[in-house]
A and B are shown apart, each in its own frame.
Chain A
Amino acid sequence: MQFTDDITDSGFFGSEGGDGAEALDPAVIELVDELLVREPSGREGLIRVLLALQQTFDRVSWRVQELVADRFGLSPAQVAGVVSYYPKLSAERQGRLKFDVCTGTACFLCGGEGVLQQITRAVDERRPGDGEPILDVRGQRCLAVCGRGPVIRVEDQAHTVVSAEVAEGLAVDLLGPAPAPEDER
């Protein structure tokens, strides 16, 4: 995890300023409180709230974690412990274009792992130094098209029997030469 990068300033995670503009936006506070209203079961709803925030903002920033901790009556460390444990939650921003590679057993047997490795490498090579990621490359178990692997899914469109080269080509096309589009938030 990236604790050391962030614990430099004041605040529990040293996150005042510089940890994402959305954390300062009253709309975020409003959303968290709105989500909480729908959670009558107290702490049981924590992961549900975090998943909803992740889906909206492509991450749960440190500042937002502090806010959630405050509302649930937990320590920020307890919330950070949950966020860092689950693969679907992340303090760092994920790419908005979802690029799923099936890592189920059947796809593994016909070369799915090689596809995932090659795409991850290609995306890492093209990631701008300080820019936000465009593609969120994820291994998924599984995409339920077991007879036609390796399978990838790009923005809800499945591609079957893909070679690593074809998959990389799709990823590179999506990344494109242009810089990442501005996030509207």
Chain B
Amino acid sequence: MTITAPTTRAGERGAARVSVCGGSGCIALGALEVIEALKRRANDAGTPLEIDSGPCVVGCRGFCSQGPLVYLPHLDVLYCRVGRDDVDEILQHTFGQSERIERLLYSDPSNGCRYRGLADNPFFANQDRQVLARCGVVDPEDLDHAVTLGAYDALKKALADLAPDKVIDLVKRSGLQERGGAGFPVGLKWAVVADTPGEIRYVVGNGEAGDPGSTADRTLLEGDPHGIVEGMAIAGYAVGAREGRLFLRSEHSLAVARAERAVTQARRRGFLGARVLGSDFDFSIEICENAGASMGGEETSLLNALQGGRGVARPRPPFPAVSGLWGCPTLINGLETLANIPLIVRPDRLGVGVRPARTKVVSVSGAVSRSGVAEVPLGTSLAEIVDELAGGRIDDDVLGVHLGGPGGVSLSTSQFDTTIDFGSLRSHEANLGSGSIVVLGHNSCPVALARFFVAFCAEESCGTCPPCRIGTGAVLNLLDRISSGEAEASDLCRLERLCRHIRRTSLCELGRNAAGTVIAGLRSFRENYESHLSGQGCPTGTCG
């Protein structure tokens, strides 16, 4: 095939450099073959790609159901479900004069409409990508690329212009709440760690979201690990810590590898290590892999695991901010929280003043036509997310959504005006949690979903406190009775009473989450639970 020369050099950043999603979802679907094919073509004489080392392998764009994704930035064309056999045609389009390849454009199954690129695709157009801004754009293994896109600007500014207490003040004024869990005010937590006397302090990045339905942390790590490293370094500077631990799930091997690489690169460049950027601040980060116990993201379990022991919970107080890793004041933040920090602290060239933390990363899945990881403004309604961003409900009889994983809340379609923010969910006695939104189709059974979450919590229970260790097993037994149609009306009352007891008396969030899931399900889908009773069985045929 003949390829005419491009108007811009293929190797220039942001020019005609083809980018391929190298997130674990796309890789599982064959992205590596596409990348290899592009690299092979790069070596062919006469191909403009030979100027450069080949395609830019980026992290996840979040459009996971449509991978492998290939993006042509100079044309704003996004190709979906690309195979290696499509590569020649794509190159012809990129560097030649051919028309775009219609069959590889994203096609909306609800109306058959094809979308060309990111600007017109409703999945991206309905987002406000702040934390995810570099995900899918930057080469996550290339520090230089990240730096050209603004990485470590905030760290430079903090070290040069801001005293530690000023950084904490900025975080407080941004209103940032912990992204995950109960939404504790982050600035307040930082202040407690900074004010607690002690020679040694630690910063821990918690990459264990404790939600089997969320891929947000992995998306961040695979797509923009330097954002998290920078956030941790700024946190370390603010609270007076010299050491950080990044606690990651070992099964997310690509995320772990990219985080390790990012930490090594940052150390070599002076963003980490002794005298960071020539200042008096020393900070190092060690990657610690979780050996497979979820612990529901529970902080004290995580600390025991970091100390090389069994990941069991311990009573609080003392809270980790006062007595954490090895008894020292320890700041524990989730990865999305840490990724927000550089956005708050970064140079204020436009004079906008305090930047409020205004977005939440959500992962949408279930009975929608576009599932994936997205970032939306706080205050976005469920209806907007499900119907516009995620492409609408696959069937007309959608039951509702489950929001926030274990510990979240089940909401029926009549409650789709509920907004994604911390306050509105508190009114449902639920946490925003990891921000996972699972849309329940007409054939999804709320009882089966509650059983799924309770089984997850029961399996991950560390066994320290009886309400969780014994209680989650008892809840499972009751749910099994309901699923199999053997339960009576009194069992529903017992179930509710038991769950309220577990929620009141569990040592940590894991047990409380298991119980909270059932209580929320009973509140929104009681009719569905009742229709399982007295031998009627599951209306959807899912249970039993």
Contact = CB atoms under 8 A, between A and B. Distances in A.
Interface in B36-85: 60, 64-67
Nearest to B218: A144
Nearest to A52: B289
B288 interface: yes
B307 interface: yes
A2 interface: no
A88 B310 contact: no
Contacts of A141: 212-213, 294, 456
Interface string A139-157: 0111111111001010011
A46 B372 contact: no
B124 to A, nearest CB: 15
B29 A140 contact: no
Interface in B473-493: none
B144 interface: no
B292 A146 contact: no
A145 B28 CA distance: 8
A87 B292 contact: yes
Contacts of B28: 143-145, 151, 153, 156-158
A76 interface: no
B15 interface: no
B365 interface: yes
A4 interface: no
Interface residues of A, number: 39
B343 to A, nearest CB: 24
B438 A51 contact: no
Sorting the interface of chain B by its residue count into under 10, 10 to 19, 20 to 34 or 35 or more gives: 35 or more
A105 B29 contact: no
B215 A160 contact: no
A147 B64 contact: yes
A170 interface: no
Interface in B435-449: 436, 438, 440-441, 444, 449
Contact of A51 (B30, B250, B436): B250
Interface string A69-89: 000000000100110011111
B510 to A, nearest CB: 14
A153 B254 CA distance: 15
Contacts of B25: 143-146
Interface of B: 23-25, 28-30, 60, 64-67, 211-213, 215, 218, 250-251, 286, 288-294, 305-312, 363, 365-367, 370-372, 402, 405, 436, 438, 440-441, 444, 449, 452, 456
11 contacts: A47-B288, A86-B292, A88-B250, A105-B365, A108-B212, A143-B24, A144-B23, A146-B363, A146-B365, A146-B372, A147-B370
Interface of A: 41, 43-48, 50-51, 78, 81-82, 85-89, 103-106, 108-109, 113, 140-148, 151, 153, 156-158, 160
